[in-house]
Amino acid sequence: MRNEFTAIVERDGDWFVSYCPEIPGANGQGRSKEESLESLTQAIELVLEDRREDALRGVPAGALRETVTVG
Protein backbone atom coordinates (compact mmCIF):
# COMPACT_ATOMS: atom_id res chain seq x y z
CA MET A 1 0.00 0.00 0.00
CA ARG A 2 2.70 2.48 -0.89
CA ASN A 3 1.48 5.89 -2.02
CA GLU A 4 -2.02 4.63 -2.66
CA PHE A 5 -5.06 6.68 -1.76
CA THR A 6 -8.80 6.28 -2.19
CA ALA A 7 -10.46 8.41 -4.88
CA ILE A 8 -14.20 8.99 -4.74
CA VAL A 9 -15.55 10.19 -8.10
CA GLU A 10 -19.04 11.58 -8.65
CA ARG A 11 -20.71 13.01 -11.71
CA ASP A 12 -22.17 16.50 -11.43
CA GLY A 13 -23.87 17.41 -14.69
CA ASP A 14 -21.17 17.63 -17.36
CA TRP A 15 -18.37 17.47 -14.78
CA PHE A 16 -16.71 14.75 -12.74
CA VAL A 17 -15.66 15.72 -9.23
CA SER A 18 -13.39 13.68 -7.02
CA TYR A 19 -11.99 13.74 -3.52
CA CYS A 20 -9.72 11.71 -1.31
CA PRO A 21 -11.14 10.82 2.13
CA GLU A 22 -7.64 10.20 3.55
CA ILE A 23 -6.40 13.67 2.56
CA PRO A 24 -8.92 16.33 3.66
CA GLY A 25 -8.88 19.28 1.30
CA ALA A 26 -7.70 17.28 -1.75
CA ASN A 27 -10.32 17.65 -4.48
CA GLY A 28 -10.31 17.33 -8.26
CA GLN A 29 -12.58 18.02 -11.18
CA GLY A 30 -12.67 17.53 -14.92
CA ARG A 31 -14.82 16.95 -17.96
CA SER A 32 -13.92 13.25 -17.84
CA LYS A 33 -13.23 10.80 -15.04
CA GLU A 34 -9.58 10.70 -16.10
CA GLU A 35 -9.25 14.50 -15.97
CA SER A 36 -10.86 14.52 -12.55
CA LEU A 37 -8.45 11.86 -11.26
CA GLU A 38 -5.43 13.72 -12.67
CA SER A 39 -6.64 16.90 -11.01
CA LEU A 40 -7.08 15.00 -7.73
CA THR A 41 -3.59 13.52 -8.02
CA GLN A 42 -2.12 17.00 -8.37
CA ALA A 43 -4.17 18.24 -5.42
CA ILE A 44 -2.97 15.36 -3.21
CA GLU A 45 0.65 16.13 -4.11
CA LEU A 46 0.20 19.82 -3.28
CA VAL A 47 -1.58 19.17 0.03
CA LEU A 48 1.05 16.66 1.20
CA GLU A 49 3.92 18.95 0.16
CA ASP A 50 2.35 21.89 2.00
CA ARG A 51 1.70 19.84 5.14
CA ARG A 52 5.26 18.50 5.15
CA GLU A 53 6.73 22.01 4.82
CA ASP A 54 4.41 23.32 7.54
CA ALA A 55 5.25 20.47 9.92
CA LEU A 56 9.01 20.86 9.43
CA ARG A 57 8.93 24.56 10.34
CA GLY A 58 8.54 23.60 14.01
CA VAL A 59 11.36 21.03 14.19
CA PRO A 60 14.03 22.01 16.73
CA ALA A 61 17.47 22.77 15.25
CA GLY A 62 19.19 19.86 17.04
CA ALA A 63 16.61 17.20 16.17
CA LEU A 64 17.62 14.22 14.03
CA ARG A 65 15.74 13.89 10.75
CA GLU A 66 15.36 10.46 9.17
CA THR A 67 13.26 9.04 6.33
CA VAL A 68 10.97 6.04 6.80
CA THR A 69 9.14 4.14 4.07
CA VAL A 70 5.74 2.59 4.71
CA GLY A 71 4.48 -0.25 2.57
What is the pTM for the complete model shown? 0.84
In a domain, 40, yes or no: yes
Closest to 41 in 3D by CA, of 68, 4, 11, 10: 4
Helix, strand or coil, per DSSP, at residue 29: strand
In a domain, 14, yes or no: yes
Q: How many domains does the chain have?
A: 1
In a domain, 42, yes or no: yes
pLDDT digits (tens, 9 = 90+) for 13-31: 999 999 999 999 999 999 9
In a domain, 37, yes or no: yes
pLDDT averaged over the chain? 94
2 pLDDT exceeds 80? no
Q: What is the pLDDT of residue 10?
A: 98
In a domain, 13, yes or no: yes
Length of the chain as a residue count: 71
The domain in which residue 23 lies consists of 8-51
